[in-house]
Amino acid sequence: MYLWLLKNTRNILKMMRSHLKSRSVIIIGGGIGGLFCGAILSKEGYSVKVFEQHYKVGGGLHQFKREGVAFETGMHIVAAFQAGGVLNRICSYLGIMDKLTILPEDDDCFEVFHVACDRKKYRIPRGADRFVESLGREFPGEKENIARYIKAVYAICDKVKLYNLEKPDDTYPNYSESFAGSVGDFINSFTENEQLRAVLAFGNPLYAGERYKTPAYIHALISKLYLEGASRFAGGSQQLADALAEVITQEGGAVYAGEGVTAIDIEDRTITGVRTAGGETHRADHYISAIHPSSLFELTGASKIQRSYRQRIDSIPSTYSAFTLYIIFRRDTFPFFNHTYYYVENYDDVWQQNQYTPGTWPKGLMFLTPPEKEQGRFAGKMIVNGIMNFETVRQWEHTTSGKRGAGYEAFKHRCEQQVIGKLEEIYPDIRSCIRSVYSASPLTIRDYYKQKEGALYGVKKDCTNMALSHIPVRTKVKNLLLTGQNINLHGILGVPLTAITTCAELTGLEYLLNKINNTPK
């Protein structure tokens, strides 16, 4: 009997755990939002199944290989993983922080903001005090204004309680002019210097900011996030996706890659099951959608979701997309640099990179050399983003990957050469360092991420219509919740925080925050 118990202890524990986990959850979409929800709920005793249409989970965390070189599809720049950082605390609670290799960007310069028209390169250092000192030297007479600006940024962030893993007072923390007014008006209130105004908006490509539409709180949250903890995954972002998936499976759940949900059955405003690409039907007590709400509606059938609700969601504009270049360098030819590089032709282009003609694209670039786990002096690769509207590729919107035709391939080749041409203005010899080039357009982002019109940062936040910009995690379907970058906040921190909000509908927010905050550091 003793030997039998020894041999079967693991199976007995699994059976006991299965019995305890009578609360079941199905998650549609295995991107960062779906995986964080799955890991949190698994940790809290729920039986979780995650269904992802792509062959590998991760969404923006996903990596792919070309010529044996691994590239990230997204999440190139991360933050909040430093000691005491919000993501550090969340990942410590999940038990995965020690599985991640994070490389902080350089303290003296985590970003270069390069304005070509006057050949000026602003080096942005980490930390509020250094930021004030550095820009104070660049703009004599403006140091006090810069200090007031930083103080206001931090004050806004303090009002967003969840940003600090504190229980919010209400859904909308503060609708004051400084909080919910436009980012342009917010920055303009501190200085009349047009060049300084552009530099203060240096992080705009990380949230697709529009000067007089994007709410100031979006700018503040993103700016503080990277100012305090800009870093990168050494060895790639797939490590986070794999670690989250492992939490789910170790807790008895399942992650199905290459098995997307193809239909959702709804009766009496309640989901009764989901059908997957493999032809099976799966059922659970609760369902969480981590895909774009418009894509979700396509799975439910038009009559199952209230028409006014669908029309409201479908009417929200998307943020712009991008054309991405993946460069493989010849061995030991191009130096590795441990910061992010933003390039614009003119100061005003920080706000209008998506306003171009075929002859003027790209108006700006964001690029970096991704680090390996053991990074040497030279870079093996570079990732370059050039902002691009979906309208630029609209003529191929009904095509599929690999079958878009010769015209599309010629278009991509032209874009590749235009991007390299801009890089040559910064690095005149870069073409001789390049071994191979691959690229992706807004169509790629749309098809692989299931993001409407290939939106980089989900739905657009608009301070002139804040209610339209906010999509609650609760839906008109009783057992359906939403998560992901289209809900509340986007990005490497915004999506996990939204996942907490989603999971809290089942666990309770105060309980969940206490569990995270009380995890030993």
Q: Which of 128, 123, 124 is nearest to 146 (CA)?
A: 128
Q: CA–CA separation, 414 vs 400, rounded Å?
A: 20
The C-alpha torsion from 351 through 353 and 354 to 357, rounded to 10°, is 130
pLDDT > 90 fraction of the chain, expressed in percent and rounded: 73
Phi/psi for 172 (5° steps) reads: -110, 100
pLDDT at 102 over 50: yes
Say what the pLDDT of residue 265 is.
95
HSE-CB of 39 using CA atoms within 13 angstroms? 27
Burial 437-467 (b: 16+ CB within 10 A, else e): bbbbbbbbbbbbbbbbbbbbbbbbbbbeeee
Percent of the chain with pLDDT over 70: 93
Our CA angle for 37, 461, 302, nearest 5°, is 65
Let me know: does 323 contact 440? Beta carbons within 8 Å: yes
pLDDT score at 176: 58
Burial 136-169 (b: 16+ CB within 10 A, else e): beebeebeebbbebbebbeebbebbebbebeeee
pLDDT at 443: 96
Could you give phi then psi for residue 50, rounded to 5 degrees?
-115, 130
Closest CA to 408 of 364, 440, 360, 445: 440
Eight-state DSSP code of residue 233: E
Tell me the pLDDT band of 180, cut-offs 50, 70 and 90: confident
Q: How far apart are CA 364 and CA 418, in angstroms?
A: 11
**pLDDT category of residue 301 using cuts at 50, 70 and 90:** confident
User: For the residues 227-243, what does the mean pLDDT come to?
Assistant: 95
Dmax over Cα atoms in the chain, in whole Å? Answer: 83
pLDDT computed for residue 21 by the predictor: 47
User: Of 434 and 181, which is predicted with more confidence?
Assistant: 434
The secondary structure of 371-408 as a DSSP string is PPSS--SB-SEEEEEEEE-GGGGGGGTT--TT-S-HHH
pTM above 0.95, yes or no: no
For residue 252, the model assigns a pLDDT of: 96
CA torsion, ordered 371, 485, 151, 339, to nearest 10 deg? 10
pLDDT, position 6:
47
Q: Which positions ≥6 away from 119 have C-beta within 8 Å?
A: none
Report the pLDDT value the prediction gives residue 10, as an integer from 0 to 100. Answer: 52
Is pLDDT at 31 greater than 60 in this prediction? yes
Q: How confident is the prediction for the chain on average, in pLDDT?
A: 90
- Please tell me the predicted confidence (pLDDT) of residue 17: 47
Determine phi and psi for 386, rounding to 5 degrees.
Answer: -120, 120
> How open is the CA angle 69-73-77, to the nearest 5 degrees?
100
Mean pLDDT value of segment 408-415 = 97
Secondary structure class of 63 (helix, strand, coil): strand
Residue type, 424: E
pLDDT in tens, 354-378: 999 988 999 999 999 999 999 999 9
**Poorest-confidence range of 31-40, 166-175, 182-191, 199-208?**
166-175
Highest average pLDDT, of 4-8, 13-17, 255-259, comes from: 255-259
- Give whole-number Cα distances, 374 to 100, 103, 380, 384, in Å: 14, 10, 12, 22
Rounded Cα distance, 512 and 519, in Å? 11
Q: Please, is 6 exposed, middle or buried when counting C-beta atoms within 10 Å of its C-beta (0-12, 13-18, 19+)?
A: exposed
Q: What is the pLDDT of residue 307?
A: 75
Cα torsion through 345, 351, 354, 359, rounded to 10: -30
Amino acid at 203: G
Domains located in the chain, CATH noted: 24-102+235-316+457-517 (3.50.50.60)
Least confident of 18-22, 421-425, 427-431, 444-448: 18-22
Helices (H), 251-343: 293-300, 307-314
Beta bridge partners of 72: 63
What confidence tens digit (pLDDT) does each residue in 122-172 have?
Answer: 999 999 999 999 999 999 999 999 999 999 999 999 999 999 999 887 554
